[in-house]
C-alpha cells in the first residue's frame, strides 16, 4: 500500500466562486479581471470560457474576440479567501488536511487502510460530495492520489475539470513519460531552460538520469529530491525546498510606463520581504518578471547570499531592472519572487556584525506596519506605488491581514 497523498485541486477557482455566488453566471463563460479595461488581462477564466481559448493571462480585448458572450467580473479576493477556509474545513471532516498548498489546492494524508486503492478512490468521491454540500456545486475539483504529494499533484493535473486520477508507485516513472517537462510541479520556464541545456528534453530523459546527475543539474540536493519524487518515494518536506514568496500586479492603463512599473515592483519587493521575515526564512534568489501589452515577456534572476534584508533586495532589483529590454515600453504586468529559501537553522549568517542591527531595525519596521497598516513605514523608492501591493491575486498564498492590509 504505497498511496500516501490525496491532493484536492479546485478547477477555475476564482471564476467558480463567482458562479456560486452569482447564479446568473452559472453555465456562462466568465472572466475575472482586476479592473474593467480591454488592455488588462483575465486573472481567471471559468471552465466555459476556457473552451473558447480564454485562460489566465488572456488580454480582455482578446477574450472578448475569442468569446463574444463572456461575462467580466471584478475580482473579490476577500470572497475567495472566505470560500477557501470553508473548503479546507469541509475536506478536513473527511480526510486530514496535511498542508494547504495554495488558495485552490490542499494536500491530504492517507493512512492505514485508506491507502488501499479502492478505499482511496471512495474517499476522494466522498470529498467531492462533501464539498458540493458545504461550498456549492459550482466549485468542482480534480483530485489526484499518489505515493507522495508530487505524484498526487501531477495526477490531479492529468484530468480537468472534475477529474479523479490515481497513480500507484509500481507504475512509476513510466506513467509520467507522456507528460511535458512543464507539466511537472516545480519545472517552470527557467528550470526547463536549464534542463534543455543539459540535454533533458522529455520526462523520460529526466527519469533516466541518476540522483547524482540530477544533483548536478539542480546545483544541489533539490535534484536528488526530484529524482526520488518521480519514483514515488516518501520524500520528507524540507523548509525552503522549491518554495517561494511571490507577488504580481497588473498595471492600470495610466501606469504602464517604466517609472510607475519600477515603483510598483519596488513596493512588491518590500511587501514580500516582510512576508519572508515573518515566515522565518531567508532568500537566496530574487526573480523579476515583466509582461508587455503585446504579449511578450521578460524575466531575469539573481543569486544572493541568503538574506532577509530589504535594502539588499532593492539593490538587486535595481540591477535586474537595468538589464531589461529598453525598446519595449508598454508594461502590462510586473512580478517578483524570492526563491531558494532557507530556514533560520540553515542560514549561513553574515560576516558582518551589521546584520544583527539591521534585523532589529526590520523587526521594528514590520511591527509598525502590522499595527498601523502597510503604508506606515516604507522605503521612499516605492512612494509612487504606495496605493498598490495590497490584497491582490491570491493563487500563490493565502493573504495574511498583517502583511496584506
Q: What is the 3-state secondary structure (H, E, C) of 271-316?
A: HHHHHHHHHCEEEEEEEEEEEECCCCEEEEEEEEEEECCHHHHHHH
Angle at which helices 221-230 and 211-218 cross, to 10° = 130
* 202 close to 210: Cβ distance less than 8 angstroms: no
Determine the pLDDT at residue 358: 66
Determine the pLDDT at residue 378: 52
Determine the pLDDT at residue 140: 96
* 255 close to 35: Cβ distance less than 8 angstroms: no
Q: How many CB atoms lie within 10 A of CB 357?
A: 10
C-alpha cell at position 374: 502597510
Determine the pLDDT at residue 374: 53
Low-confidence spans in the chain with pLDDT less than 50: 239-242, 351-354, 388-391, 393-395, 401
Please give the backbone phi and psi of residue 176, each rounded to the nearest 5 degrees, phi first.
-95, -10
Determine the pLDDT at residue 394: 46
Instruction: Kindly report the pTM of this predicted structure.
Output: 0.70
Q: How many CB atoms lie within 10 A of CB 368?
A: 12
Determine the pLDDT at residue 32: 96
Three-state SS at 68: coil
Name beta bridge partners: 342.
Answer: 282
Nearest-angstrom CA–CA distance, 277 and 309? 9
Nearest-angstrom CA–CA distance, 156 and 7? 7
Determine the pLDDT at residue 199: 96
What DSSP assignment string belongs to 246-276? EEEEEPPGGG-SHHHHHHHHHHHHHHHHHHH
Q: Which domains does the chain have, with CATH numbers?
A: 1-171 (3.30.70.270), 176-230 (1.10.150), 245-404 (3.30.1490.100)
C-alpha cell at position 200: 533533458
Please give the backbone phi and psi of residue 308, each rounded to the nearest 5 degrees, phi first.
-120, 5
Three-state SS at 17: helix
Residues near 94 by beta carbon (within 8 Å), at least 6 away in sequence: 123, 126, 127, 130
C-alpha cell at position 42: 483575465
C-alpha cell at position 280: 522565518
> Using alpha carbons only, what angle is made at residue 166 by residues 11 and 123, rounded to the nearest 5 degrees?
75
Determine the pLDDT at residue 329: 73
Half-sphere exposure of 390 (CA within 13 A, CB side): 10
* 239 close to 331: Cβ distance less than 8 angstroms: no
Half-sphere exposure of 392 (CA within 13 A, CB side): 21
Nearest-angstrom CA–CA distance, 220 and 346? 14
Cβ neighbourhood burial of 16 (10 Å; 0-12, 13-18, 19+): buried
C-alpha cell at position 40: 488588462
Amino acid at each position: 500500500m504505497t498511496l500516501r497523498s490525496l491532493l484536492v485541486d479546485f478547477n477555475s477557482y476564482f471564476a467558480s466562486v463567482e458562479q456560486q455566488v452569482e447564479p446568473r453566471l452559472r453555465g456562462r463563460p466568465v472572466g475575472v479581471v482586476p479592473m474593467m479595461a480591454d488592455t488588462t488581462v483575465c486573472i481567471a477564466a471559468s471552465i466555459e470560457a476556457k473552451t473558447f481559448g480564454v485562460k489566465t493571462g488572456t488580454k480582455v480585448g482578446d477574450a472578448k474576440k475569442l468569446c463574444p458572450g463572456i461575462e467580466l467580473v471584478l475580482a473579490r479576493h476577500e470572497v475567495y479567501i472566505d470560500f477557501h477556509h470553508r473548503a479546507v474545513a469541509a475536506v478536513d471532516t473527511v480526510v486530514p488536511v496535511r498542508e494547504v498548498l495554495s488558495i485552490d489546492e490542499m494536500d491530504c494524508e492517507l493512512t492505514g487502510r485508506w491507502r488501499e486503492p479502492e478505499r482511496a478512490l471512495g474517499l476522494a468521491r466522498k470529498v467531492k460530495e462533501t464539498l458540493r454540500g458545504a461550498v456549492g456545486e459550482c466549485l468542482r475539483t480534480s483530485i489526484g492520489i499518489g505515493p507522495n504529494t508530487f505524484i498526487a499533484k501531477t495526477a490531479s493535473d492529468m484530468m480537468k475539470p472534475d477529474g479523479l486520477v490515481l497513480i500507484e508507485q509500481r507504475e512509476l516513472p513510466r506513467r509520467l513519460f507522456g507528460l511535458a517537462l512543464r507539466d511537472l510541479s516545480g519545472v517552470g520556464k527557467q528550470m526547463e531552460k536549464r534542463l534543455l541545456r543539459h540535454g533533458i528534453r522529455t520526462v523520460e530523459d529526466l527519469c533516466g538520469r541518476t540522483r547524482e546527475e540530477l544533483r548536478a543539474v539542480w546545483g544541489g540536493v533539490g535534484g536528488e529530491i526530484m529524482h526520488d519524487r518521480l519514483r514515488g518515494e516518501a520524500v520528507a518536506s524540507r523548509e525552503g525546498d522549491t518554495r517561494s514568496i511571490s507577488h504580481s500586479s497588473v498595471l492600470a492603463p495610466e501606469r504602464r510606463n517604466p517609472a510607475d512599473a519600477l515603483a510598483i515592483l519596488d513596493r512588491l519587493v518590500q511587501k514580500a520581504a516582510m512576508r519572508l521575515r515573518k515566515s522565518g526564512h531567508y532568500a537566496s534568489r530574487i526573480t523579476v518578471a515583466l509582461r508587455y501589452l503585446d504579449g511578450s515577456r521578460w524575466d531575469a534572476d539573481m543569486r544572493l547570499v541568503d538574506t532577509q534584508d530589504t535594502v539588499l533586495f532593492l539593490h538587486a532589483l535595481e540591477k535586474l531592472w537595468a538589464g531589461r529590454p529598453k525598446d519595449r515600453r508598454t508594461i502590462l504586468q510586473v512580478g517578483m519572487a524570492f526563491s531558494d529559501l532557507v530556514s533560520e537553522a540553515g542560514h549561513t549568517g553574515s560576516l558582518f556584525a551589521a546584520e544583527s542591527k539591521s534585523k532589529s531595525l526590520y523587526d521594528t519596521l514590520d511591527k509598525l506596519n502590522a499595527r498601523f497598516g502597510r503604508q506606515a513605514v516604507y522605503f521612499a523608492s516605492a512612494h509612487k506605488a504606495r496605493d498598490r501591493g495590497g490584497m491582490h491575486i491570491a493563487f500563490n498564498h493565502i493573504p495574511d491581514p498583517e502583511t496584506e492590509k
